[in-house]
Structure 1
Amino acid sequence: MKKYDQIYYRALAILLLMFTGAILVVNFLTPSNVFSESENRMLQQLPNFSLQTLRSGKFTSEFETYLSDQFMERDFWIGLKSDADRGMGKKESNGVYIGKDGYLIQKFSPPEKGDLKDRVKAIQAFDKATPGLRKYMMLVPTAAAVLEDKLPPYASGGNERVYWEKIKDSHLGDIRYIDVSPALEANKEQPIYYKTDHHWTTKGAFLAYRELSSPMSFTPKNEEDFKIRQVTSQFYGSLYSKSGVRHIQPDSIELYYPISPGAISVNYVDEQQSADSMYAMENLEKKDKYTVFFNGNHGLIRITTDNTEGRRLLIVKDSYANSLIPFLTPHFSEIDVIDLRYYEGDVRKLTEDRQIHDMLIVYNTSTFFEDPSIKSLADSVE
């Protein structure tokens, strides 16, 4: 019996080695992929060998990453693992909750101690230095706070609400805080957040636009004033890439086209490029289809409309504002849009040089606390 056992285990070992060897051969013979569409990132290429990189450990580390990134049928195995994890009841993957009804929901990360106070101080300093500027602020709750019924059992979006309320209750000087949370809560049965992406949908942005109208003194348009068009039904967003979860339904993206459109000119200042549309339709063929709005994020965008009232608006924002801005264009003659993550200019000087009357700060709660660039508002008043 022992003799047959030895033969069996030797045969099994030989088959395993042959299988492993065959996979390695196939991997090396198959051309390397440069970019992963599903993960939305560059993949590791075969590293260059040298004694220096070998001694430092860089070659070994990069080679291991190369084998992982270029493993044959990588997306298939990732999908198989994610299906197995869900089957075993796993509710979180890489900081993303695997929620109900196909929702992937970003986990909220609380700010470091004292960080909230630093952000508030920066905003207060800017407000004090710009007394003639009408200022408004909208912090948008993420899906974790609004769609708590979609979270897996024992997961909570409550921490976000705590910090969101602290900002709301902070003394922001003359800045008027606009609370969009009740409007989103009242409409949470509608698709106001994407299922595979961390952004709100165009529907969610439209609800926020309606909430802005009264405090910012303009008459909003109704949904009947737009022709709503689905421009893609194959959107796999940032949370799909980050979580590794596969075999779920993609999102659709809708654009609201005014029935009575006005003339628009969009100037991407840093890139020295211009367009007559706020939508980069060619990006619907790419992985990050949310960049259909303004071709993604830029340091400074200047929008000129055919509105003759002469009212000028500055928007300081993250990417949540990208789908909101088109709704605001009928109500302002010019809109300057800056993303502090990429903008290197002096914000206060910009408001003076451009004779801007109104300023709107728009961030989702998670980005507001994670990204330090909002603190740079204080730099322009020192």
Structure 2
Amino acid sequence: MTNADDMPGSPRPEVQRRSTLSRRVTTLFVGLLILAFCLPAFLFLTGLQTNTDQISRSERRVLQGLPSFEGDARAYTAQMDDYLEDRFGLRMLLIRLARKVRDNLGENPPNVIYGQDGWLYLGALKYRDEFEGQGSWSNERVERWVESLSNVNAALSARDIPFIAFIAIDKARAYPEFLPEDWQEGTRRFRSFVYQHPDAAQTGLIDAERYVMQAKAAGKKTFYSRDTHWTADGTYDLAMAIMDRFDPDGSLPRYMPAPAQVRESERLLDLDAMAGFERSNEPPALMIGFPQGGPDGLTRLEPTAPDSPHVGQFATVRSDGTHDVGDKRLVIVGDSFADSMLGHFLPSYADIIRIHHGAHLFDVSLDEVLAYEPDAVLFATAERQAAQKDQPFQPIRP
């Protein structure tokens, strides 16, 4: 008797199994695809989405609120489009996923490199080139830096105004042990060439790297693991060395009037933000708030030129210091690495002026510095910014 499975035209059992498995896989794939399309809308409609903040800290902007119809249909629909784009479910997850896909496809180099043990580093090609000794700067730029700092130091010394400068060490050099394994540190460094110049003694330079690495050797975490900047704890020794040079015989309350207080961070660390995160996982013990010297116990920050085209961190900013130290004033020409140290100087000055020195801004002039009638001047910039900038100050006019 002939078996039905052996009859012509009847599929064999293994073929049937493969066909059944194929249909199940196809059904599962289609189901997951439908779920992927529907889940963001479901989370949005039910209010279960996680991105309910009014401000996106990683994008540094206010999210669009639900618009109200006021008679202009075109404006209403445009605002509604913005609202839906800002509020759909899993928004930040999908943005990070799209960014990761673009980075892996080579459409643009990643801004953030994931190192070991959760550490993040700047990933732009120019920063890696500088770290590995392939920076595009020339010896002529080193000469301009040394000449510029020397001229400013001499001009301020003639007015009995102490001047100190430093080029900060970058995070990749301070913590190379957490870098990806394919990053190899080079010896051709812009910072080293400036510090080793025969005329470096005339520049007012202080070796920031020495004090930061000294703090690291003492067990302090000198850089945030998910931010490009150094910690206040890691720069305390450097700040005290600077104050010793500014006022070696004075009786100013240069050392902290009370122990540094640990607090929760109220800001998103920059590498977290660049990687698309809305919250930082940095341990709060590293966020150090210094006792403030104002009459209300707070520090006041205000732009000195509200109409400046450079807003926010790129404006010239005045910070209240301690009011019972006379009218001493410190002027800092620096970038965000200088901002991280402000707390160390607040007990010693009535106010501090910070003139931003970003690599993308024009050179600062000595006239601008002198206009604030400083009692001391500090120039401070990141190693990566210095390597990109032509010179630190505009040439002094004859």
Question: Which amino acid in 1 is paired with 2:288?
Answer: E
CA RMSD of aligned residues (A): 4.6
Determine the C-alpha separation between the residues in 2 that align with 1:20 and 1:269: 54
Contact 2:142 2:190 in 1 (8 A): no
1:226 partner SS: coil
1:169 maps to 2:196: yes
Q: 1:311 to 1:26 in 2, by over 3 A?
A: closer
Question: Which amino acid in 2 is paired with 1:103?
Answer: W
Partner deviation per Cα, 1:233-281 (whole Å, 9 max, x = no partner): 68652223335699994232111216xx465764421338xxxxxxxxx
Match of 1:326 among 317, 340, 343: 343
Identity %, equivalent residues: 13
Query: How far off its partner does 1:316 sit?
Result: 0.8
In the alignment, structure 2 segments of 5+ residues that lack a partner are: 1-11, 65-83, 101-108, 157-161
Question: Which amino acid in 1 is paired with 2:36?
Answer: I
Tell me which residue corresponds to 1:362.
380
Question: Which amino acid in 2 is paired with 1:256?
Answer: F
TM-score normalised by structure 2 residue count = 0.64
Q: 1:340 to 1:74 in 2, by over 3 A?
A: closer
Paired residues in the alignment total 325
Tell me which residue corresponds to 1:178.
206
In the alignment, structure 1 segments of 5+ residues that lack a partner are: 46-65, 83-91, 273-294
1:349 maps to 2:378: no
1:128 maps to 2:144: no
Match of 1:339 among 328, 353, 356: 356
- Higher alpha-carbon Rg: 2
1:313 maps to 2:330: yes
Contact 2:111 2:275 in 1 (8 A): yes
Tell me which residue corresponds to 1:228.
260
Q: 1:40 to 1:169 in 2, by over 3 A?
A: same
1:302 maps to 2:318: yes
Which structure 2 residues correspond to residues 1-382 of structure 1 after superposition, within 5 A?
1=12, 2-28=15-41, 31=44, 39-40=58-59, 72=90, 75=93, 94-100=111-117, 102-106=118-122, 108-111=127-130, 112-114=135-137, 117-118=140-141, 121=144, 124-125=147-148, 127-128=150-151, 131-133=154-156, 134-151=162-179, 153=181, 155-156=183-184, 158-159=185-186, 162-170=189-197, 171=199, 174-188=202-216, 189-218=219-248, 225-232=257-264, 237-243=269-275, 249-252=281-284, 253-257=287-291, 261=293, 263=295, 266-271=301-306, 297-303=313-319, 305=321, 306=323, 311-341=328-358, 347-370=365-388, 372=389, 375=391, 377-378=393-394, 381=397
Query: How far off its partner does 1:379 sit?
Result: 6.6
Query: How far off its partner does 1:28 sit?
Result: 4.6
Determine the C-alpha separation between the residues in 2 that align with 1:120 and 1:135: 19
Query: How far off its partner does 1:317 sit?
Result: 0.8
Partner deviation per Cα, 1:295-342 (whole Å, 9 max, x = no partner): 962421234553556544321111111131232234345432101348
Partner deviation per Cα, 1:189-247 (whole Å, 9 max, x = no partner): 21222122111112123222112123223457576632321220686522233356999
Tell me which residue corresponds to 2:71.
none
**246-255 or 228-237, which deviates more:** 246-255
Q: 1:296 to 1:248 in 2, by over 3 A?
A: closer
Q: 1:152 to 1:221 in 2, by over 3 A?
A: farther
Q: 1:229 to 1:161 in 2, by over 3 A?
A: farther
Question: 1 or 2, which has the higher strand percentage?
Answer: 1
2:263 partner SS: strand
